[in-house]
Chains A and B, each alone.
Chain A
Amino acid sequence: MIRTLTLEWLKLKNYRIFWILLGMYMLSLVVIAAGGGLFLEWLKHEGAEFQGIDPTIFPIYDFPDIWQNMTYLASFGIILLTFIVIISVTNDISYNTLRQNIIDGISKREYLMSKMMLILSLAGLSTALLFVLGIIHGAIYSHVWGSQFIFDELEFVAVYFYQIVLFCTMAFFISLVVKKSGFVIVALFLYALMFEPIASTILENAPFSRDTWAADIVQFFPIKSMNNLIKVPFGRYIFKEIHDNVSLRALGISLGWFAIYLSGIVFILKKRDLKG
């Protein structure tokens, strides 16, 4: 385990692009964490009113709601983290170092492990940072304090960790299939941010498919099932009913996808001939 992680570390620690991407991601987390309050300030400044309520009094940083709010917003940033995985995998393909690593003396299993260890480390690091940011903002803004509030609903933080692992594993799989980093990033962007959301919206809302089986299959889509893990939390501030727990159904579906990505990776690593 440590051996495979060290291998990945040796490959990345002197790689500038890795540090730039990681820095950008960390920064985005900090901005997202701080951004909620700033956004409400901006709404107030613009004169927006919610049934006569001053937006800045919305308790978005109150424990334990803060965990769902922050993980929901932070999940949009995960795509930046997948770039690190994409570049790390496609580099090994284009520089032919995957082949060289194996010839030098690692098994394909160890190679898979090294990338999964990278993914787990990135997820662990982000989750730790998110947790610390949550505690800091909660300490400043929360109207309640105490371990029974702070440590309630921490399952959202765990799910955030899982989302990163899931999305990065998907990126790992696509990288092995597509091989070229530019294509992988474009393909992932187009699919995750355009094709699937548009297809989902059409299927769920168009007159011909609404309320039929076609709308039902949307929840099985890879990105949708991942996003369904943490639902939009902000409805609670305008007294709408929201899902304030993790969807077990989405968890089951996404675990299915996770198994598909992993088997795909194992299959490709096992079967593909690495020619010089």
Chain B
Amino acid sequence: MEQTLEIRELSKRFGKIQAVNKLDLKVLPGQVYGILGPNGSGKTTTLGMILEVVAPDSGIFRWFDNVSNVEARKKIGSILETPSFYPYLTAVQNLKIVAHIKQCSTDRIEPVLKMVGLHDRKDDKFKAYSLGMKQRLSIGAALLSDPPVLILDEPTNGLDPEGIAEVRALIKDIAAQGKTIIMASHLLDEVQKVCTHFCILRKGVKLHEGLVEDTLGEINRIEVSHENLDHLEDVLANFEGLETIRKNTTSLHLSLKENYNATHVNAFCFEKDIVLRKLVTHTNSLEQEFLKILKEHD
């Protein structure tokens, strides 16, 4: 399998609003791909189109190199914003329908319900479930066929902190099994924590695309401190990897030349008989990058 998903020039307009505008996207197997963007930027519409519940105005998409879309969807687990099940059926009966549609075995219903913590309530009707339980059932439904690809739309929306942590752990778990995940979110923190790749959408246009690691990768800003800050400053002024140095009340902020990092700073100080009280590497947060990118395109 060469690629999981390829989108070319996909567009969708709702009345006056261009929801998605000539979007190109490529997701390869094993990636955890985050689609970032403010509310109303076209994330859900894009997911709707690749799942064939929203009809594109133009453009094409392809799953798994030329498998029909229906067959492709059977290999995709989807967790979308609102859990949709038959309220008059129990969890088991609802999952039997999912298994029938996905043409997978019903053997996994019990283990999946155990995994999402609904086994005790498996014979209760869906309408009696709390929101958290409904969401967990939709996670169970998505995992039922053990799919190689998972699509998540705002996966932690409406969950309590414990639920959010559970879902994030689950995503990382699944990603660790080598599965591909495509996830839409407006929570930067979330994308930063779980994604390997990301793109930024605004008003249906892709503004940026790249590796999360690259964006966060500028690890050349170091914060150090010592009892005698002035002395430390004098000593570090002779450090060969130093670019700039800035002092504030309790610490020094260094920015280093390329190929230098905290290890070099530490070793250098040790050589000069200085034991640091504090040594911190500052990485960029995706939030800063995100705001920067949005600003660049204003």
Contact = CB atoms under 8 A, between A and B. Distances in A.
A108 B52 CA distance: 9
A150 B97 CA distance: 43
A3 B96 CA distance: 13
B85 A7 contact: no
A15 B88 contact: yes
B139 to A, nearest CB: 14
B74 A275 contact: no
Contacts of B180: none
Given A10-B93, A104-B102, A270-B55, A276 B70 contact: no
Nearest to B54: A273
B101 A105 contact: yes
Interface in A92-134: 95-97, 99-108, 110
Interface string B60-77: 000000000111011010
Interface residues of B, number: 33
A103 B70 CA distance: 9
A240 interface: no
A101 B101 CA distance: 7
Interface in B84-98: 84-90, 93, 96-98
Contacts of B89: 11, 14-15
B125 to A, nearest CB: 9
Interface string A259-276: 000000000001101111
Contacts of B102: 104-105
B48 A105 contact: no
Most B CB within 10 A of own CB, among A14, A91, A103: A103
A247 interface: no
Interface residues of A, number: 29
A16 interface: yes
B84 A99 contact: yes
B171 interface: no
Nearest to B53: A274
A10 B96 contact: yes
Dominant secondary structure at the A interface: helix
Given A100-B84, A100-B85, A107-B70, A271 B55 contact: yes
Contacts of B71: 105
B48 A97 contact: no
Contacts of B82: 96, 276
B265 to A, nearest CB: 51
Contacts of B23: none
B277 interface: no
Contacts of A274: 48, 53-54
B124 interface: no
Contacts of A3: 100
B255 interface: no
Given A7-B101, A95-B86, A274-B54, 7 more contacts: A14-B88, A95-B85, A104-B102, A104-B141, A105-B102, A107-B69, A273-B53
Interface of B: 44, 48, 51-55, 69-71, 73-74, 76, 78, 80-82, 84-90, 93, 96-98, 100-103, 141
Interface of A: 3, 6-7, 10-11, 14-16, 91, 95-97, 99-108, 110, 270-271, 273-276
What 9 pairs between A and B have smallest CB-CB spacing? A105-B74, A96-B84, A100-B84, A274-B53, A105-B73, A104-B101, A273-B54, A107-B70, A103-B51
11 contacts: A10-B93, A11-B86, A11-B89, A11-B97, A15-B89, A99-B84, A103-B51, A104-B101, A105-B70, A107-B69, A274-B48
